[in-house]
Amino acid sequence: MGSSAFSAQPLLLMLIFFALMYFLMIAPNQRKQKKWQLMLSQLKSGDKVTTNGGIRGVILTVKDDVVLIRVAPDNIKLEFVKSAIAAVTTADE
């Protein structure tokens, strides 16, 4: 009888370990991904954004999965896929 309780202990430790890994790593990542997807779906003309490459500009148009951004100082227009947008900085200023 005592040996069956002992053999369940490693299984219980593994379950606790995987639960900890989920709550410390996977769940926060999923929340961050959902927040980023929501931000991408709400992009609109006039938003100030920063791309993954560090380019800052103002959105001129949003079409499907493409955004057209005007970049200072020469008002150059650049086209990016939406997934290249790292952050909306309009509210920060």
Q: What is the pLDDT along the chain (93 residues), one digit of tens a residue?
A: 445 556 789 899 999 999 999 999 999 999 999 999 999 999 999 999 999 999 999 999 999 899 999 999 999 999 999 999 999 998 655
pTM for the whole thing?
0.70
- The pLDDT of residue 4: 52
The whole domain housing 65 covers 44-93
- Both 56 and 33 in one domain: the answer is no
- Both 62 and 21 in one domain: the answer is no
Q: How many domains does the chain have?
A: 2
**What span, in angstroms and rounded, lies between the C-alpha atoms of 22 and 61?**
39
- Both 36 and 67 in one domain: the answer is no
**Are 69 and 49 a contacting pair, CB within 8 Å?**
yes
- Both 27 and 58 in one domain: the answer is no
- Both 61 and 30 in one domain: the answer is no
- Both 53 and 18 in one domain: the answer is no
Cβ neighbours, 10 Å, residue 38: 9
- Both 31 and 5 in one domain: the answer is yes
